[in-house]
Amino acid sequence: MAQILLKSLSILFLIPFFISQSCSQTPPAQNVPPSTICKSTPYPSFCNTVLPTNNTTSNVYDFGRFSVRKSISTARKFLALIQKNLKKSKSLTTTAVRALEDCRYLAECNVDNLVTSFQTVDKTSKTLSFLQADDIQTSLSAVLTNTQTCIDGLRDTASAWSIRNGILAPLSNDTRLYSVSLALFTKGWVPKGKKIRQSSNTHNGHTNPGSLLRNGHLNLKMSARNQEIYRTASNSHNNNNNNNNNRKLLQVDGSDNNNQVLVSDIVIVSQDGSWNYTSINDAVAAAPNNTDGSNGYYLVYVTAGVYEEYVSVPKNKKYLMMVGDGINQTIITGNRNVVDGWSTFNCSTFTVVGTGFVGVGMTIRNTAGAIKHQAVAVRNGADLSTFYSCSFEAYQDTLYVHSLRQFYVECDIYGTVDFIFGNAAAVLQNCNLYPRQPMANQFNAITAQGRTDPNQNTGLSIQNCTIRPADDLANSSYTVKTYLGRPWKEYSRTVYMQSFMDSFITPVGWSIWSGDFALNTSYYAEFGNSGPGSNTSRRVTWPGFHVINTTDAVNFTVSAFLIGDDWIPQTGAPYTSGLI
């Protein structure tokens, strides 16, 4: 992750979760001049230069549509600019080309997100449902995240000086425009109050045991043909490996026909060549494109082994489920890193951006080591994605929760500096966080959340997790400070609740990024934690730090923060909807 400080010009906002963050109390449907509407955005002066100024008045819906439409045009122009610069790739360094390629991909995502958002806002001039509003707010939040990621990548590429001025200058105004669009959408279309929606799947704070694993077996609903293939493959593989734990996991349990995870098709990856594929990427490539998940998941079963490949689940591979033989059985490993010329965004061993992805029972590693600095194990930019019973292992920047909505349950995460970072709306539940031994003179920071705008619905919620030192740190003769997090971006938002913190957590809890950057505008909170490291009496005294109560904490639960009751049940992963 970029270690360079990037300050954005934004207003002070300390309200942690209320969706309506407008400064203005003007009713959305009332006609007002642009100058009035612009007061409800983080950039009033810039907003006044963007909205029509021909002495007309309008309401927030008309102004919002105008801003999103203009954002689409701007995103397309930026994409064309990147493509123009890439035509000069022969005169650029490899790192500069990689930074530009990252920007091209991110710009393409922005065009898609803005077009999809406009299709919704163009059809209605009234408040949307919580679920509809969250979809669009998530997309517009991701547009800002993608733009910031491009900026970070270009700034970190020392050899890209020749292209920076021509690209970063327009990006500054692009960011402001996207922020205005998000603010106007939030004011006009998002329901006021807290983002809590009671649905038919809500469990009222109780644990849903999930249906993916029942009594140690996979509980999948699939055709008789696929069941036979799966049983044959798993039994054959497990007999060869004589691993009783695997045999338990990989039997198909058909005992609960009413609560099974639906599977449309299955392919099997085995390194000995006895099944469909020897490469994980080849299996992913065989998946159908752009499915909606209504017919179930496309299941890629990856048998035990060490897979030295850089796995990518692209945007068009939706509702793909990847199941391994278990942690430390199915291992995916790579060693790309920033020191060797890769961007932070594109050095990950495992990259997933396909909507609805579910990963189960795998270990994913980046073995570059602490000396190589940023070296990502997993980059996740997949909306409505879930990882269950997986292990992520690296040092600096292990888990990149880049954007959109994500859920992690019963996972192990190992790292040193900023090892859970990014700007998704992400909940980690019942996970084990293991800070490791960093390089000499380094400290550990578990999180570095990257929220840049007060209207983004993003942040990290760490619930009912266990935070203990990894063996190398626990046995070290050196004293290493370990912090809960530090503010990577101006509106960084991270909440620890109902988690166990061991004694090695530094008493102040949180570290600065640089000077007083973001200490007023970040939102860091703790609620109901336990263990010797959870004592808040000596925590930092920044305006952005809070010890919160139940009323505030419920906003960061699966049900409220992710509206997870609407999409996590179909994954079969166990989860707790509310507070524990």
**DSSP for 255-299, written as a single string:** S-TTSPEEEEEEEEE-TTSSSSBS-HHHHHHTSPSS--STT-EEE
Looking at the predicted structure, is the pLDDT value of residue 95 above 50?
Answer: yes
431 and 516 assigned to the same domain: yes
Range in 53-62, 68-77, 405-414, 531-540 with the lowest mean pLDDT: 53-62
Given a contact cutoff of 8 angstroms between Cβ atoms, the answer to whether 283 and 301 are in contact is no
Would 463 be classed as within a structural domain? yes
Q: Please tell me whether residues 298 and 344 are part of one structural domain.
A: yes
Arithmetic mean of pLDDT over the chain: 88
Would you place residue 56 in the very low, low, confident or very high pLDDT band (cuts 50, 70, 90)?
confident
- The per-residue pLDDT for 57 is 75
Lowest model confidence (mean pLDDT) among 257-271, 294-308, 374-388: 257-271
Choosing from 374, 402, 431, the residue where a domain stops is: 374
pLDDT band at 221 (very low <50, low <70, confident <90, very high): confident
Residue bearing the bigger pLDDT, 12 or 169: 169
| Residue 109 in this model has a pLDDT that exceeds 60 | yes
Packed helices 94-121 and 161-189: angle between N→C axes, nearest 10 degrees? 20
Per-residue tokens: 200: 């038919």
Give which of 478, 297, 517 is closest to 386, Cα–Cα: 297
The pLDDT score that the predictor gives to residue 258 is: 60
- The closest alpha carbon to 135, from 392, 542, 425, belongs to 425
Specify the pLDDT at position 163.
Answer: 60
Q: Which two tokens stand for residue 295?
A: 């017919």
Q: For residues 241 and 226, what is the distance between their CA atoms, to the nearest angstrom? A: 22
pLDDT value of position 31: 87
Say if 84 falls within a structural domain: yes
User: Do 89 and 143 fall within a single domain?
Assistant: yes
Which of 10-14, 155-159, 224-228 is predicted most confidently?
224-228
- Are 140 and 60 part of one and the same domain? yes
Query: 265 and 171 in one domain?
Result: no
End residue of a domain, out of 344, 374, 404: 374
For 204-240, b/e burial (b = at least 16 CB within 10 A) is eeeebebbbbbeebbbbbbeeebbebbeebbeebbee
Which entry of 102, 418, 453, 565 is annotated as an active-site residue? Answer: 418
- Tell me the pLDDT band of 11, cut-offs 50, 70 and 90: very low
Q: What is the CATH number of the domain that holds 92?
A: 1.20.140.40
In this prediction, residue 507 carries a pLDDT of: 98
List the CATH number of the domain containing 265. Answer: 2.160.20.10
**In terms of domains, do 51 and 183 share one?**
yes
pTM score, whole prediction? 0.91
More confident residue, 247 or 136: 136
Q: Is the same domain home to 369 and 439?
A: no
Please report the pLDDT score of residue 53 as a whole number: 75
Residue 567 lies in a domain: yes
- What pLDDT score was predicted for residue 164? 61
Q: How far is CA 226 from CA 143, 268, 290, 301, 492, in A?
A: 39, 11, 22, 12, 45
Domain ranges, residue 308:
221-236+261-374
| Domain-located, residue 50 | yes
CA dist 201 to 36, 132, 144, 567, Å? 41, 17, 31, 9
Residue 41 lies inside a defined structural domain of this protein? yes
Q: Which residue has the higher pLDDT, 385 or 33?
A: 385
Q: Which residue has the higher pLDDT, 94 or 9?
A: 94
In the prediction, which pLDDT does 207 show? 62
Q: Given this model, what pLDDT does residue 452 score?
A: 98
Distance between CA atoms of 17 and 181, rounded to whole angstroms? Answer: 19
Higher local confidence (pLDDT), 311 or 159: 311
User: Do 180 and 226 fall into the same domain?
Assistant: no
Question: Is 424 contained in some domain?
Answer: yes
Question: Residue 199's pLDDT is what?
Answer: 40
DSSP alpha helix (H) spans, 286-342:
none
DSSP string, 483-535: ESB--SSTT-EEEEES-EE-TTB-TT-B--SSTTTTTTT-EEEEES-BSGGG-
Nearest alpha carbon to residue 312 among 280, 341, 343: 280
The encoded tokens of residue 322 equal: 């990847």
- Tens-digit pLDDT profile for residues 423-479: 999 999 999 999 999 999 999 999 999 999 999 999 999 999 999 999 999 998 889
Determine what percent of the chain is predicted with pLDDT higher than 90.
74
Would you say residue 277 has pLDDT above 90?
A: yes
**pLDDT tens figures, 478-498:** 899 999 999 999 999 999 999
Q: How far apart are CA 328 and CA 391, in angstroms?
A: 8
Q: Which helix (H) or strand (E) holds 49?
A: helix 44-50
Q: Are the beta carbons of 564 and 407 closer than 8 angstroms?
A: yes
Same-domain check for residues 84 and 184: yes
pLDDT at position 383: 98
The strand pair at 350-352 and 378-380 is best described as: parallel
Does the pLDDT of residue 376 top 60, yes or no?
yes
Distance CA 540, CA 112 (A): 41
Give the pLDDT score at 96.
Answer: 87
Q: Answer yes or no: do 429 and 569 share one domain.
A: yes
Phi, psi dihedrals of residue 97, rounded to the nearest 5°: -65, -40
Give 139: exposed, middle or buried? Use CB within 10 Å, 0-12, 13-18, 19+: buried
Number of domains in the chain: 3
pLDDT in the model for residue 201: 43
The upper half-sphere exposure of residue 21, i.e. CA atoms within 13 Å in the direction of its Cβ, equals 24
- Asked if 167 contacts 151 with a C-beta cutoff of 8 angstroms, the reply is no
What DSSP assignment string belongs to 375-437? --SEEE--TTEEEES-EEE-SBT-EEE-SSEEEEES-EEEESEEEEEESSEEEEES-EEEE--
Q: Is 265 one of the catalytic residues? A: no
At residue 426, the pLDDT reads 98
Q: Are strands 220-221 and 261-269 parallel, antiparallel or unpaired?
A: parallel
Mark which of 312, 346, 374 sits at the end of a domain: 374
Name beta bridge partners: 557: none
Q: Is 11 part of a structural domain of the chain?
A: no
Closest CA to 347 of 339, 355, 359: 339
Question: Per the domain annotation, does 291 fall within a domain?
Answer: yes
